Structure 1
């Protein structure tokens, strides 16, 4: 357990001194617009104390909860606020290691076992990765992992005791469909049960009953992600996903060069990826792909080509991406054995990552993509969180590669327009008027609208051009009866308050999800800013009506293009919002509204 967690635990159990109580009392009586860092330093000198923020927050809740404090001070107390700046709190659950975790044998994928050969982690994961350490602590128990993470969020102030919170769950480990169906349904049920019983224990109910309860629970599952392979995406598996409340699917694409994939024994190719993305979007699901530069057989030029395919080809348009530069991992202690075909290739002198020869080549490849990607894409991760001690070869063992990439971009005056880099977080752009932007693009045989609320910083000429476009759009509506929208300007774009993904599919739902036939599909709605509880008051972007604006705009665009209904692939915990705030009804597993 980390020293930080130990310090949290000690601060929770120790008795509170009168000096500490006076410290917190003085702090919360400070002016609402005060510099709390400065005040905290003065109080630390005055009382000869150095309490961490999580301890201050705990003492406030324990002894002064009847005293109302402003949002600025509450934000200051929340130590790990960055985790909630994206509007939701993420809980990663690791599935149990066993022989079923993945039935495939891709060359780059490690398998960790104990000395007897029994798997100690699901395929591709190592036991000293941070998320795996938490899973080991709970012995891979679903409820134990969930409760552990929620306790951590409460300690750091990301979850308040008196408000509902929005949780996004990610199931990691192996390949989802490789686990027996009985186990898959069991862990899904245990997840909802864990979320529903954080405050009060009770025996578990049926999966259907737990899902229904979570619609109004204190901890609501508003997003649910699974990991699998493109060739495992079928109409049958998608029906299962929706039954379980799944809203996002991660697929391991790795590369678009089938020659490289064949060399890696992938047995899953670009045609499978094209088909998988098409099926997932047809059902309204969000799509995350994994890409791996620096694989055997690749080169900096070939990896730039891979990223060009991701940017340019309509049939390969995804929503989010995780970029995992190839790492050859090895055994890291005397209790485990780590094996992979790529490690054998490296030890035999048959493969050396090009980043080992010159890490700048890999940095330049990543910068190439980050400076060219489409603004409707979010880079979820840029490098996997593998300890340096585990890496035999790959990016020079530089576990801070993402930081080096950003430093180089800053040095060259470059920036990335991906959603993660532009999301408003805890920045202060309120002095700039939020602007509605609609970007239209073709994807997987359909048409997508990326509707966003953005902050733009314009000079006089850019402002004049913007208003001219607005006037022309207004005239278009007056004379043609159809709204036109500004498509944005990346040169003036400085922040993202929220966005919505609207899809016009030629056959929504296909012939396997009848409730969304003839519906325009809202695949994602996300408003940024620190995660706040359902019903909590805040001046942040989450409670400025941006969500309703995005939904109203999507409905208007759909109606003007001849659609009679809109369907939202809503997470279980968001169904009440769409029903009560937007006038939708539950039809099957989707929220549907007649236009």
Structure 2
């Protein structure tokens, strides 16, 4: 391994044209030289070996005479899956433990080993199960893997999956989020040591995590779920209600003040949280839940909309109406959250024509207009109640031509301020009974869109990704649009070719709409006022306004994002990060808010970006940061 690395370093120092093809030839040549059929050199092992020597054997590393430029070039060459951090941050996805779900959707998988709607073969689910669903261990494992692939992990977006976040007890929510921050706050060696202690404790308690063992343990109950004899919730108690079997038994009732202390520590940590995402249902988005999410540090909310047809929602077991979806979207916007909606085509009762019209409504009507969309087709898995409707002929999967036609039309209908993040779920083809099994569905759709010859405006298609951009050629554009509660301004840095290098979401709320954010929680059975803001929030509590926020006459920055390769904190990278593009977006947003007559601008800052916004003149103010105009 060392011999191959030294050859690469020498080639880089000599200025040779070293690329992926050159590297593949080198790897094959070294393996042929072994004469015993073994693969002594592999690209995926070169970088971990290099990083280990650099960290653990500095004298040996110095003997290689690796200059700063060569070190950077070597990291670029050996980095695995560069798109993982091309959006500007390192994403870490974690799962909550299996838990009863208050929904009963006919298309939803019911794998008793997982939180409702997830399957054990999905990559993030496999990682969670190996870690006993412990949030600390999941973060540690993912950080280790990303580092081994050569990714910078100084800026982390945490994505918490697991069905309906709001169904979990608040004590579990605080503890789970606190453990995520605890893991990121620790130095690498202390995090690794803490993880080793936890793993040893779980193993000594005999808590299963082996896939085969868990499959055997759950098989009898799973068979009864698949046959319709038991629901997921009915099966949950006998399996996970037993404390000796329950995953992640480390849970403690972390107080709001303790969580706030972990937040403050992360403000100056080496690995900072620049985004925290949870997922829930629209009917559980209330003013009270929005305040709780902010106290947890949440900045983006994924909500399962699935459809904008009351009839389709009803026949699919979605116990909500389009009116509650519109209310949830309005509340999320007023409280500053980014909205990431799940939208499904080919549901029970849908048609290709109706699906196209349904999505166009999502993308054009003022009550909706999401920031991000997961747009994917319904597919059939054994544990879903939809299997009965497939057998009796009430539901059928779209043909590939129908499916691609619907998704291509949806892409073309997507406005420039919305990002289509995904087009498939990470469900294994072996779990799908019928429906799309193509993992490259998005590429097929993009080819159909290209053949149509119409311009694509959605964000993901325009991101500069790993290419970088000439900052001198960028221009700053504003895309205004109107919602039911605000005027929105989407500020974007674009290249002459229309690629997007960064953007800012500015929200100018209408004063009459703010009553919605201060309204009583509709889920209170006695009509009493919604609970107030959780304790432990950052900053002062002397703000005026309904329950502390939102405030009449004050604007909101909901997101600032600059694309390009992740640059380490306080350092300039190869892309567009740390070049002042974000600061310029914030200044322009403040200028436009002042021009529109607003007295101040709030920002829904992530915990790890608070220090950044303080440098831009924002001061801590309750659950947000505020800058007077």
Q: Which TM bucket (shorter chain)?
A: 0.7 to 0.9
Which of 514, 520, 537 pairs up with 2:555?
A: 520
Does the 8 Å contact 1:321/1:379 carry over to 2? yes
The one-character-per-residue Cα deviations of 1:564-586 (angstroms, maximum 9, x if unpaired) are: 21111010000111112x12111
Length-normalised TM-score, structure 1: 0.82
Which of 131, 148, 163 pairs up with 1:174?
A: 163
Does the 8 Å contact 1:110/1:125 carry over to 2? yes
Q: Which residue is equivalent to 2:221?
A: none
Is 1:423 the counterpart of 2:463? The answer is: yes
Which of 498, 504, 509 pairs up with 2:502?
A: 498
Is 1:572 the counterpart of 2:607? The answer is: yes
Does the 8 Å contact 2:489/2:506 carry over to 1? yes
How much does 1:53 deviate? 3.9
Does the 8 Å contact 1:97/1:120 carry over to 2? yes
Is 1:238 the counterpart of 2:237? The answer is: no
Indicate the SS of the match to 1:536.
coil
Q: Which residue is equivalent to 2:76?
A: 75
Q: Which residue is equivalent to 1:344?
A: 388
Gaps of 5+ in 2: 34-39, 55-60, 195-251, 519-545
How much does 1:380 deviate? 1.0
Does the 8 Å contact 2:468/2:574 carry over to 1? no
Q: Which residue is equivalent to 2:23?
A: 40
How much does 1:349 deviate? 2.7
Does the 8 Å contact 1:386/1:399 carry over to 2? no
Structure 1 segment 175-574 matched on structure 2, within 5 A: 175-199=164-188, 200-201=190-191, 206-330=258-382, 339-353=383-397, 355=398, 358-395=399-436, 397-414=437-454, 416-430=456-470, 433-457=473-497, 493=498, 495-507=499-511, 510=518, 511-514=546-549, 516-574=551-609
Does the 8 Å contact 1:28/1:69 carry over to 2? no
Length-normalised TM-score, structure 2: 0.78
Indicate the SS of the match to 1:344.
helix
- Give the whole-Å Cα distance in 2 for the aligned partners of 1:170 and 1:307: 25
Deviates more, 1:495-504 or 1:55-64: 55-64
How much does 1:267 deviate? 1.1
The one-character-per-residue Cα deviations of 1:196-246 (angstroms, maximum 9, x if unpaired) are: 125224989821211110111111111001100111011110110010000
Which of 579, 590, 593 pairs up with 2:624?
A: 590
- Give the whole-Å Cα distance in 1 for the aligned partners of 2:441 and 2:92: 24
How much does 1:59 deviate? 4.1
Distance 1:45 1:324, change over 3 A: closer
- Give the whole-Å Cα distance in 2 for the aligned partners of 1:46 and 1:329: 45
Question: What RMSD over aligned residues (CA atoms) do the two structures have, in Å?
Answer: 2.2
Does the 8 Å contact 1:36/1:73 carry over to 2? no
Deviates more, 1:62-71 or 1:541-550: 62-71
Indicate the SS of the match to 2:345.
coil
Q: Which residue is equivalent to 2:91?
A: 90
- Give the whole-Å Cα distance in 2 for the aligned partners of 1:258 and 1:53: 52
Indicate the SS of the match to 1:316.
coil
The one-character-per-residue Cα deviations of 1:414-456 (angstroms, maximum 9, x if unpaired) are: 5532111111111254287101110100013210000000012
Which of 128, 136, 144 pairs up with 2:137?
A: 144
Does the 8 Å contact 1:226/1:246 carry over to 2? yes
- Give the whole-Å Cα distance in 2 for the aligned partners of 1:428 and 1:169: 24
Divergent runs of 4+, >6 A: 202-205
Distance 1:348 1:44, change over 3 A: closer
How many residues align? The count is 517
